């Protein structure tokens, strides 16, 4: 309880203005209840319904960011909290912004020699007839570069929103159009046939630690928005059941990817384990992962002996600032 008291007044940021608002509310309310159960003076705050400046006025000592997607996971809220001088959970401004953009993330990982599926980026920002024609022409050439099936996704969205598995060339244009509704850029990615796994990380730098790997089995491989959050059709295995050497390699790779992006506090990487040779491929890094009843970080933490409420308190205790002295003069 003394640790909880040391946290001061805490705001759990949830909701927000992204396409993942509903999931954020589920995550945030779970975190809020958990922190209160541990004796933390925690209060909900929805940035879509209140000015962040109110956090300083109300004497908030630190923030637990349970926002997902844009305006919450992409460095924008983190930057505002830096200016306010209020320590917050998760990665800082730059790491949050880079990890939110799958195109930039893949560039950094490739520069470090970390395995990630091959990809092509399409520009859907020009909605004029000429721009649309250019986009369609560029999309038509993607199967020749990446093969089929392939994955089409918006690079700055999460929760599998706008993601399509394309198995036939004649469905590609529709997949691109769907993705473009979420992002002016469209990421077309090589499909890796195999098992989907995820691995969470707690901490920062050399002391960061990987949690047990979670292996995911979705019906017909459809680990989409609906199956992630609103059905019980997906099977999760933690312990993963993978050979020890494979799990160790996944953890090693995820820690390298996490450090490469400069992440801190906590995060979760999603990967594919290729069936043909068991090689893992990094898909993305989540810097504000879900904390719902279906979420994977609490599942992995539980497997490691860390209960949900203890996990929330541990993450909150790691709250910090990029600049150790912000406008409010507060230190983490």
Is the sign of the CA dihedral 135, 139, 145, 151 positive or negative?
positive
Calpha distance 122→143 (Å, rounded): 13
Residue 227 bears catalytic tag: no
Exactly one of 240, 290, 295, 308 is catalytic; which is it? 290
Calpha distance 81→324 (Å, rounded): 12
Q: What residue ranges in the chain does DSSP mark as E strands?
A: 9-13, 41-45, 62-65, 119-123, 150-153, 164-166, 185-190, 194-202, 209-210, 214-217, 235-237, 266-274, 280-286
Question: What phi-psi label fits residue 304: left (phi over 0), alpha (psi between -120 and 50 degrees) or beta?
Answer: alpha
Exactly one of 159, 240, 288, 318 is catalytic; which is it? 159
Residue 284 bears catalytic tag: yes
The residues, ordered by sequence, that sit 6+ positions from 45 with a Cβ below 8 Å of its Cβ are 11, 12, 13, 14, 54, 55, 60, 63
Which residues are bridge partners to 45 per DSSP? 13
What 3-state class would DSSP assign to 186? Answer: strand
DSSP state of 83: H
Residue 159 bears catalytic tag: yes
Exactly one of 179, 286, 295, 318 is catalytic; which is it? 286
What 3-state class would DSSP assign to 80? Answer: helix
Exactly one of 16, 179, 194, 229 is catalytic; which is it? 229
Exactly one of 15, 18, 20, 88 is catalytic; which is it? 20
Q: Contact, 109 vs 260, CB < 8 A?
A: yes
Exactly one of 101, 189, 247, 270 is catalytic; which is it? 270
Exactly one of 62, 156, 264, 268 is catalytic; which is it? 268
Residue 268 bears catalytic tag: yes
Residue found by looking up tokens 């759990």 in the block: 12
Strands 9-13 and 62-65, bridge-based pairing: parallel
Q: What tokens appear for 89 in the block? A: 């959970």
The residues, ordered by sequence, that sit 6+ positions from 92 with a Cβ below 8 Å of its Cβ are 75, 78, 82, 262, 264, 321, 322
Exactly one of 82, 101, 195, 284 is catalytic; which is it? 284
Residue 183 bears catalytic tag: no
Q: Annotated active-site positions, please?
A: 20, 159, 229, 268, 270, 284, 286, 290
């Amino acid at each position: 309880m003394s640790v909880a008291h040391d946290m001061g007044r805490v705001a759990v940021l949830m909701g927000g203005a992204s396409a993942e608002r509903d999931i954020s509310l589920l995550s945030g309310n779970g975190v809020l209840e958990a922190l209160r159960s541990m004796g933390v003076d925690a209060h909900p705050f929805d940035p879509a319904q209140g000015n962040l400046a109110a956090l300083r006025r109300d004497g908030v000592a630190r923030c637990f960011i349970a926002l997902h997607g844009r305006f919450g996971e992409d460095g924008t809220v983190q930057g505002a909290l830096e200016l306010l001088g209020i320590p917050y959970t998760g990665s800082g401004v730059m790491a949050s912004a880079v990890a939110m953009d799958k195109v930039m993330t893949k560039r950094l990982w490739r520069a470090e020699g970390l395995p990630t599926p091959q990809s092509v980026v399409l520009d859907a920002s020009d909605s004029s007839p000429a721009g649309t024609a250019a986009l369609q022409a560029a999309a038509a050439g993607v199967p020749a570069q990446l093969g089929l099936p392939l994955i089409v996704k918006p690079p700055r969205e999460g929760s599998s929103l706008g993601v399509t598995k394309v198995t036939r060339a004649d469905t590609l244009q529709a997949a691109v159009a769907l993705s473009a509704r979420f992002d002016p850029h469209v990421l077309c990615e090589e499909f890796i046939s195999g098992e989907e796994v995820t691995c969470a990380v707690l901490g920062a730098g050399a002391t960061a630690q990987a949690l047990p790997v979670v292996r995911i089995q979705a019906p017909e491989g459809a680990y989409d928005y609906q199956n992630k959050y609103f059905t019980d059709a997906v099977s999760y295995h933690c312990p993963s059941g993978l050979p020890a050497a494979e799990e160790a390699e996944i953890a090693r790779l995820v820690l390298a990817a996490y450090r490469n992006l400069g992440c801190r506090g906590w995060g979760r990487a999603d990967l594919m384990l290729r069936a043909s040779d068991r090689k893992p491929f990094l898909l993305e890094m989540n810097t504000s992962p879900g904390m719902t009843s279906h979420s994977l970080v609490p599942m992995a933490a539980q497997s490691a002996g860390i209960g949900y409420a203890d996990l929330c308190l541990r993450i909150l205790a790691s709250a910090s600032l990029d600049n150790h002295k912000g406008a409010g003069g507060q230190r983490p």
